[in-house]
Amino acid sequence: MIKHLSECHKREYIPLDMKRVLMKSRKLCLSERGLILEFGNSIDPAINGKVRLMAAAIQEKEIPGILSLVPTYRSLLIQYDPMMITMDRLMSVIDGIEDDLGDRQPPPGRYFELPTYYGEPYAPDLERVASHCGISPDEVIRIFSETNLLIYMIGFVAALPNMGGLPEILHTPRLPSPRVKLLAGMVGLGGQQVAICPVDLPSGFNYIGRCFLKIYDPTRFPPSPFVAGDRIRFKAVSLEEAIACEGIFPEPIGQ
C-alpha cells in the first residue's frame, strides 16, 4: 500500500532551505551581451529558489544597461547592453547584490489547479507508467493528481512550463522515440519532470491526461499565465468537466 504523500499536497508556500545553495554564483561569459550566473547542477527547489531570488533582486535595482533576465532550472541569463554597462561593472554589481541577499526568500509564487481528464484517448502512456512503477493506473492518477508541482522555468517552446516535484514512485523514463505530435493541453512526465503542452508539439514524455484550459495565448502579454515559482496541481475531473474549461485562460486561486 502506498502512503499518501502529504508533503506534496500542501497548497501553502513552504520556505526553502537556501543554506544548501552555493553562497556565490559561478559566472560565465556567454557573449559581449550575455552573462550567466550558475547556482548548482541539479533539479533542486532550493537552487531554483536562488535563481528566482537573484532575478527578483536584480529587477528591484533597475540597473541601467540590463535588458532582460532569463531564469532556468539552475542558472540565470543576464542580457545587457555593453554600451551602457561593462562586463566588469556588471559583475561587480551582481557580487554586491549577492552579498546583500542575507536570509531573503524567493518570491513565493502562486497556486493553480488545472482540471485534467485522465483517460482515453488522452492517456496513451498511462499503462506504461503504471507497469514501470509497479502500481495500478488508478494509483498513478491518484498520486499524480494530488501532487503540487513547482514550475522551475518557462521555455524550450512557447510558454512551456517545465515542472518538478514529481514523487519518486512515478519517475518513468522517456519514450525510446518521441511522438511526432501531441495535442495542446496534454499532460505528461519524463524522469522526474512534468510538462503540459502549450501548443501541438512533438515529445518523448509519457502522457497520461489532458487539460483543455488555454495556457498559451499569443494575443496576450504575457502570453503564459505562469511564471517560474508558481505551483500547479492537475486536478482529476471528468471528461465533461475538462472540456467545459476549453479556451479559458487559467487564473491563480491562491499562494
| CA 38 vs CA 150, 203, 228: distances in Å | 20, 27, 16
User: Could you tell me if 130 and 231 lie in one domain?
Assistant: yes
Determine the pLDDT at residue 255.
72
Determine the pLDDT at residue 156.
83
User: Could you tell me if 167 and 214 lie in one domain?
Assistant: yes
- Write the CATH number for 94: 3.30.1360.40
Tell me if 27 sits within 8 A of 91, measured CB to CB. Answer: yes
Whether 6 maps to a domain, the answer reads no
Determine the pLDDT at residue 197.
97
Determine the pLDDT at residue 103.
83
> CA 212, CA 122: separation in Å to the nearest integer?
11
3-state class (DSSP) for residue 227: coil
Burial 193-227 (b: 16+ CB within 10 A, else e): bbbbbbeebebebbbbbbbbbbbbeeeeeeebbbb
User: Could you tell me if 124 and 236 lie in one domain?
Assistant: yes
> CA 117, CA 51: separation in Å to the nearest integer?
33
pLDDT tens sequence across 148-195:
999 999 988 889 999 999 999 999 999 999 999 999 999 999 999 999
As given in the structure block, the three cell numbers for residue 175 are 519514450
User: Could you tell me if 89 and 133 lie in one domain?
Assistant: no
As given in the structure block, the three cell numbers for residue 202 are 512533438
- How would DSSP label each residue in 1-58? -PPP-HHHH--S-----GGGS-SSPEEEEEETTEEEEE--SS--HHHHHHHHHHHHHH
User: Could you tell me if 126 and 205 lie in one domain?
Assistant: yes
Q: Which domain holds residue 54?
A: 18-99
Segment holding 164, helix H or strand E? strand 161-164
Determine the pLDDT at residue 5.
39
Residue 155 backbone dihedrals phi, psi, to 5 degrees? 150, -165
Please identify, among 54, 72, 99, the residue that sits at the C-terminal boundary of a domain.
99
User: Could you tell me if 116 and 237 lie in one domain?
Assistant: yes
Q: What is the mean pLDDT of each run of 10 residues along the chain (255 residues)?
A: 39 55 81 93 92 95 95 95 96 94 88 97 98 98 98 90 97 96 97 96 97 95 94 98 97 86
> CA 244, CA 241: separation in Å to the nearest integer?
5
| CA 227 vs CA 41, 77, 112, 223, 230: distances in Å | 21, 16, 11, 11, 6
User: Could you tell me if 163 and 67 lie in one domain?
Assistant: no
Whole-model pTM: value is 0.87
Determine the pLDDT at residue 65.
96
3-state class (DSSP) for residue 199: coil
- Write the CATH number for 227: 2.40.100.10
User: Could you tell me if 115 and 239 lie in one domain?
Assistant: yes
User: Could you tell me if 41 and 89 lie in one domain?
Assistant: yes
User: Could you tell me if 154 and 222 lie in one domain?
Assistant: yes
Tally of structural domains, the chain? 2
As given in the structure block, the three cell numbers for residue 155 are 521555455
Whether 5 maps to a domain, the answer reads no
> CA 59, CA 167: separation in Å to the nearest integer?
33
